[in-house]
């Protein structure tokens, strides 16, 4: 089952595919993936964390949420585009130490942040 990820404005912009690992943008491009709660860009850069429905940057600030934990009123999801062919993943770099998660939200865009290390 796909899991929609909402940005801090309540708009669904990314989603986790049925494999439970690959994160796609709403327009169908694979942008990053999740291994043991760590989020990695397609080129192997450690981007942040996905834990208990929260997407957090490396500082522990929230940049996105699942429907179940979102503190915002959520917009209706638009139709997703068909998934595009994935690029080959680069070797992962070592994950940073998991920070204490904060209650503050990041000023970064969920889609831009999670897509920052993709081809």
Q: Tell me if 49 sits within 8 A of 55, measured CB to CB.
A: yes
pLDDT in tens, 61-116: 999 999 999 998 999 998 888 888 887 888 888 888 888 888 888 888 999 999 99
The structural domains of the chain, with segments of one domain joined by +, span 3-114
- All residues at 6 or more sequence positions from 107 whose CB lies less than 8 Å from its CB, including other chains: none
10 vs 118 pLDDT, higher one: 10
Per-residue pLDDT band at 32 (split at 50, 70, 90): very high
d(CA 83, CA 71): 29
Q: Tell me if 50 sits within 8 A of 37, measured CB to CB.
A: yes
In this prediction, residue 91 carries a pLDDT of: 85
């Amino acid at each position: 089952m796909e899991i929609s990820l909402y940005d801090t404005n309540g708009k669904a912009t990314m989603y986790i595919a049925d494999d439970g690992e690959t994160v796609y943008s709403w327009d169908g491009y694979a942008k990053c993936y999740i291994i043991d709660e760590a989020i990695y860009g397609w080129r192997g850069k450690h981007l942040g964390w996905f834990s208990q429905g929260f997407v957090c940057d490396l500082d522990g600030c929230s940049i996105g949420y699942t429907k179940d934990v979102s503190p915002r009123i959520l917009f209706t999801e638009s139709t997703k585009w068909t998934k595009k062919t994935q690029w080959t993943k680069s070797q992962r770099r070592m994950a940073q130490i998991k920070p204490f998660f904060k209650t503050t939200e990041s000023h970064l865009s969920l889609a831009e942040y999670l897509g920052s290390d993709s081809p």
